[in-house]
Structure 1
């Protein structure tokens, strides 16, 4: 792991792609947000990320819910963001599905939407989705469409990024503690200690313990998070920062309903896996559907400011992900269903080096370079198979997938120019991506036998390399331009246009080939032949919008359009006479977003938003030599076209009362629209009481949270790919949303 790396933050990005969150300079002054104690409004993080929708500390506390460990629950208040976790912890994703869509798009391949300090520390599959306690996060930025070059790093940035900023060590010694109890035996304890300034050094350390039962069926969650942070600043010109996070996460997954079961939701709302240990040949036992992960993340930031105000920065990062998924494939006859153990063991590391310099008063330049590596899985490389005996015991039965681990590599220089010229603001940048997709040495053929060792390294030595399902590494190159232009019509009105190109790649071809190897070999088609046809998925994103402020109230309408090439679907190849997933289709998306937020009175802050999203393939799928499925212009699955969200905080002395309402329009489980899920509305309600000051206690408060106050039965998310067809062997599954729950939190600072 010899990594040379380099990191950069685009200094003067005057951009603003997302509707109600991308606010320009004046909005930073007028929006009533965390600076004045309000959470029900959006603001930007300053000149460096003016195109983002920012969530301040108060917004994070409010929208993360009573268990503050999921940043996606926070950004879920944005228009065009659909995030519907099936339980209060926000960590119920299956091994195949993370229930997040931005402007109708879901994350492709092993790319991760999470970033820490603009560094790409996350990915799929694997753990680490809730490694950061949000008490340690001071700010969250959401990017969609246009993204600054160095805030769009990683395996993929197709749908956008969620960038978390660490709450730095405090200047004075401080202890923060909170305790949450609630429905289904939910229990969370958080403790943070800040050393205060000790000469040139300051530091903090935190630990949290989270546990609780599933709200339906058997199973539970147990998570421990640890975080450390340290800053060293010997003078005004140099600073260094180091952050470390560790997480241990074990939890059982929820059962996914079939469409027939989802249609009769009142009857099947709480249907889950079998809870009694099986005494017959049945694979649907709850404890064979779970996940367990241990994750570590380390990031650093070294900056030096020269006499001419130019800044050199270096930001390395490293993340380690170890764990496993257990899951049951659900065919028509569960008795014959295998149980799969998917082993995940991969590292992610790299660095960004950047140099920022003011050229003239109207222009600053930032030039930088990112280097990164990311191990497989993505696609999967090690899955053990088990059968269920007649007495209900698991019996090892070889490997479903067995391949040697390899590494994806990224090399990406970039440059950006930005500044202000009278009433115009601009940012123009370009990033060059050199992306080497890892080669795969597959040993799967012949590995699906109990005679093969269950030890990974031993199994590799026992099973010969399979040339049919092995491939060489593949390199993609792409120029990624971005541009923003804003014009200030009046002191409180700005119009803008921005453009950005994003990229990604789905890795479904390898596991599909493994599952259908006999068919492909009989046709004389190696994986390499199909591999050579693959392309990057590219999105060209355009936004036009307006930002208008009336006192402390901000209105932000926005229109967007995206042209997509290289989108994946499983289609029939006339050259080879087979079906396989390929990244060669076209798609489009367009929509409108609107939000209004701010302080209506001294006692009332509010936020309201609405969106309309269309995301669809622009061509039909050819599914056989003679058949074409009508998919053109159909909305992709699990992507609502409309949505409404709103919250209002009423302040009365030491009390705050905040209802939060979310409406989600109907969705479909497949691209032909034969499996429709109805719309739904949920209501949460939060009561916050600030405790009177007591000697020795800086501040304290009590929060009472009601989740799904009306106890609405609804489908939270649909586990399905964008190209899911009614005739597919694997059908969509439907996850029920969490029921009514009550949670009480006591927090204090000493």
Structure 2
């Protein structure tokens, strides 16, 4: 009897039929390796697995796209896999783009793909008018894979196909929903862990502006011994839609996930790596932003030109970025009894790279080398019919949010660079650490659900030494510090500790099987004024005094909401009010006759959020959101000896009063048509409201076709971004206390096609 070949032998035979691939600079070897395994795995799956069947009917609006979180009194919205594919940027990354249709969310993307990493801390996301001003905000599986910083952080680390859901908590955030800083809400990404059955996904995407993307994932299925794993990889590139260059020139990712049962121990592991390089887009001035005919033309020069250094810095080759990001996390669960469980999540992440950009007459290289590690633990138990959670989290980050390493170069006529010196040379001698301790209790009293908790935070700011850069050469930071004549004490700071308590109370009451009302009240915490470090010294006030006066921003919030279910739909309104203390603002001190940054600003927010979904009939769903927002300072700010900014009662820069999204999904046979309309109201680029950004409405459309084949489930999608080619200003770099100086047009009408197979 002839024995059937083993799966390993089949795989080896299959691989041998493919020719070797010559090495290139950007072929994403991991992508090719996984793709070959995936293709061969498909052949094996055809012999051993039943094909996956995809339903032709649309999902219920309660579960598809996005829906309010049902397990908490807090204001939470969850976007599932269908919503990620529909709302998220077509570049299939960036969790910010995946939540852009949610109430209270304002997400501005510079390209059609959602793949632009904007330099600095403002990444284009606002929640209820508040921006995460010190870098990427969010967690993965409940742990922060990056601290506050100007790099890409975790935003482009994970492919959308590896994400099961993203959820956004707004208003008062419960203490067991861990985040470094949550004044801007708490965004969490959940991993699509290894599936129980062997299978995988292969997809190819192409589009205008030479957009190309290849993704592959293979799942092992459950193996003997209780192990399952997945491997995935992708490669993405695209030309800029205006100007010259590529954005991204390359984006290459690799991810591996593993789950394993070790007796009573439940273990999950994730390793993710991303490399990216891109040419930057140039922002427009305010005057240029008012002329739509300039939107396609103004950008960096395609070749070095100009007779002056200032003109030559406008070359695209001097305005670009590149980064590498690697992250590891584990989740280890162990039952301590029938009602008790201990969960520990260690994690580590690092990002390394640089921004090159024009700064007056010179080209600046902003060097970034960040690492973040820590551990969160949680004890879950029950006592007296009450669910209890006790947790502790430790996060260590280096360096903090502000710049710490700047080199400067003078451009030459031939496109070269002459070293002009260090603009900033520092050393972080004590890392930035954060300790988080919390306790939470949940209990039902008949139709009333009560959740109460308390969070204690100790934020230990770093020690940073500022070095004299006179005579220091174009060498590595370590060698530069060795060449320096020494530390400038007046510009250096030693560690300072900040402590704060954040209480929380949430209530949910079931009035009937169809109506719930809920309320939550609590304190959220925001970042200290890290920018105080990089600002120039003030005579009569030491840098250390400014550093010691840092405080955590405090956002005291109350949310009142309801959820009404009717037939095949729901509607959820939320009223909210937030009072902010300790906002970092630049103030004028009349005693010192100087301005400096301090946590003394006071502001407030209030508004109405509305979310809803309705299955009008089988195969036809509607869903949407609406936000009416007010976000304003409660006092004028004095910024100079005789200058007050008229900020009291004025809507903050870049915050619209009204935003709305409306979408539909209409399925017939194997086709689904999904139009989504986004409306952005009028915004101001400065707090005095003398510079405006007009309202706009953009329509995106997806047409998809699904079928089953002997190889698996096949899906083809044609997507049109900005169907009616609306010209508008999307992202600008204004924040609470600085006017917008760079305005970025939104992408014009853009087409993309995608073909994927799930086997």
Same fold (TM over 0.5): yes
* Secondary structure at the counterpart of residue 294 of structure 2: helix
* CA–CA separation in structure 2 for the residues paired with 1:284 and 1:706: 32
Contact (CA 8 Å) 2:427, 2:465: kept in 1 or not? yes
* CA–CA separation in structure 1 for the residues paired with 2:590 and 2:296: 43
* CA–CA separation in structure 2 for the residues paired with 1:512 and 1:348: 21
Give 1:213 shift: 0.5
Picking from 660, 675, 685, the partner of 1:644 is: 660
Contact (CA 8 Å) 1:534, 1:584: kept in 2 or not? no
Q: Does 1:139 align with 2:165?
A: yes
Greater shift, 573-582 or 526-535, is seen at 526-535
Picking from 175, 179, 183, the partner of 2:200 is: 175
Counterpart mapping for 1:308-707 below 5 A: 308-329=338-359, 336-361=360-385, 363-389=386-412, 391-405=414-428, 406-443=430-467, 446-447=468-469, 449=470, 451-463=472-484, 464-510=486-532, 512-513=534-535, 516-517=536-537, 520=538, 523-691=539-707, 693-695=708-710, 697-707=711-721
Q: Does 1:227 align with 2:251?
A: no
The count of corresponding residues between Structure 1 and Structure 2 is: 692
Deviations 1:444-479 (A, max 9, x none): xx41x5653432112112221011111111111001
Contact (CA 8 Å) 2:81, 2:165: kept in 1 or not? yes
* Secondary structure at the counterpart of residue 79 of structure 1: coil
Q: For structure 2, which runs of at least 5 residues remain unmatched after alignment?
A: 1-56
Q: Which runs of 4+ in 1 moved over 4 A?
A: 32-38, 48-51
* Secondary structure at the counterpart of residue 651 of structure 2: coil
460 and 720 in structure 1: CA distance in 2 versus 1, 3 angstrom threshold: same
* Secondary structure at the counterpart of residue 261 of structure 1: helix
* Secondary structure at the counterpart of residue 317 of structure 1: strand
Give 1:698 shift: 2.4
* CA–CA separation in structure 1 for the residues paired with 2:528 and 2:301: 33
* CA–CA separation in structure 2 for the residues paired with 1:313 and 1:51: 25
Give 1:592 shift: 0.5
Greater shift, 81-90 or 619-628, is seen at 619-628
* CA–CA separation in structure 2 for the residues paired with 1:395 and 1:224: 31
Q: Does 1:738 align with 2:747?
A: yes
Q: Does 1:262 align with 2:284?
A: no
* CA–CA separation in structure 2 for the residues paired with 1:598 and 1:366: 36
628 and 660 in structure 1: CA distance in 2 versus 1, 3 angstrom threshold: same
Contact (CA 8 Å) 1:34, 1:57: kept in 2 or not? no
Give 1:51 shift: 4.5
* CA–CA separation in structure 2 for the residues paired with 1:37 and 1:181: 32
* CA–CA separation in structure 1 for the residues paired with 2:219 and 2:639: 60
Picking from 737, 750, 756, the partner of 1:747 is: 756
* CA–CA separation in structure 2 for the residues paired with 1:378 and 1:555: 39
Give 1:62 shift: 1.3
* Secondary structure at the counterpart of residue 214 of structure 1: coil
Contact (CA 8 Å) 2:75, 2:171: kept in 1 or not? no
* Secondary structure at the counterpart of residue 365 of structure 2: strand
Contact (CA 8 Å) 1:73, 1:90: kept in 2 or not? yes
711 and 38 in structure 1: CA distance in 2 versus 1, 3 angstrom threshold: farther
* CA–CA separation in structure 2 for the residues paired with 1:627 and 1:213: 45
Give 1:408 shift: 0.8
Give 1:274 shift: 1.1
562 and 400 in structure 1: CA distance in 2 versus 1, 3 angstrom threshold: same
* CA–CA separation in structure 2 for the residues paired with 1:716 and 1:263: 13
139 and 669 in structure 1: CA distance in 2 versus 1, 3 angstrom threshold: same
Give 1:393 shift: 2.8
Deviations 1:554-591 (A, max 9, x none): 11011001000011221111221101121111110111
Q: For structure 1, which runs of at least 5 residues remain unmatched after alignment?
A: 1-31, 330-335, 726-730
Give 1:529 shift: 2.5
TM-score with structure 1 length normalisation? 0.89
* CA–CA separation in structure 2 for the residues paired with 1:500 and 1:76: 25
* Secondary structure at the counterpart of residue 135 of structure 1: helix
510 and 466 in structure 1: CA distance in 2 versus 1, 3 angstrom threshold: farther
* CA–CA separation in structure 1 for the residues paired with 2:306 and 2:291: 29
Give 1:338 shift: 1.7
Contact (CA 8 Å) 2:305, 2:413: kept in 1 or not? no
* CA–CA separation in structure 1 for the residues paired with 2:570 and 2:72: 20
Contact (CA 8 Å) 1:276, 1:285: kept in 2 or not? yes
Picking from 279, 300, 319, the partner of 1:289 is: 319
Contact (CA 8 Å) 1:39, 1:62: kept in 2 or not? no
The aligned residue for residue 11 of structure 1 is none
Contact (CA 8 Å) 1:345, 1:377: kept in 2 or not? no
580 and 120 in structure 1: CA distance in 2 versus 1, 3 angstrom threshold: same
Picking from 298, 302, 305, the partner of 2:328 is: 298
Deviations 1:653-683 (A, max 9, x none): 1110011100001111111111111100100
Counterpart mapping for 1:13-28 below 5 A: none
450 and 664 in structure 1: CA distance in 2 versus 1, 3 angstrom threshold: farther
The aligned residue for residue 271 of structure 1 is 298
Give 1:505 shift: 2.1
* Secondary structure at the counterpart of residue 209 of structure 2: helix
359 and 35 in structure 1: CA distance in 2 versus 1, 3 angstrom threshold: farther
The aligned residue for residue 266 of structure 2 is 239
Give 1:152 shift: 3.2
Give 1:173 shift: 0.8
Give 1:238 shift: 2.7
TM-score with structure 2 length normalisation? 0.88
Deviations 1:326-375 (A, max 9, x none): 1113xxxxxx52211111101101111111111123x1111111111011
Contact (CA 8 Å) 2:422, 2:472: kept in 1 or not? no
* CA–CA separation in structure 2 for the residues paired with 1:88 and 1:506: 33
Q: Does 1:709 align with 2:723?
A: yes
* Secondary structure at the counterpart of residue 530 of structure 1: helix
Contact (CA 8 Å) 1:258, 1:734: kept in 2 or not? yes
* CA–CA separation in structure 2 for the residues paired with 1:269 and 1:568: 36
Give 1:203 shift: 0.4
Contact (CA 8 Å) 1:40, 1:598: kept in 2 or not? no
RMSD: 1.9
* CA–CA separation in structure 1 for the residues paired with 2:99 and 2:519: 23
Contact (CA 8 Å) 1:38, 1:605: kept in 2 or not? no
* CA–CA separation in structure 2 for the residues paired with 1:51 and 1:633: 26
Give 1:113 shift: 1.7
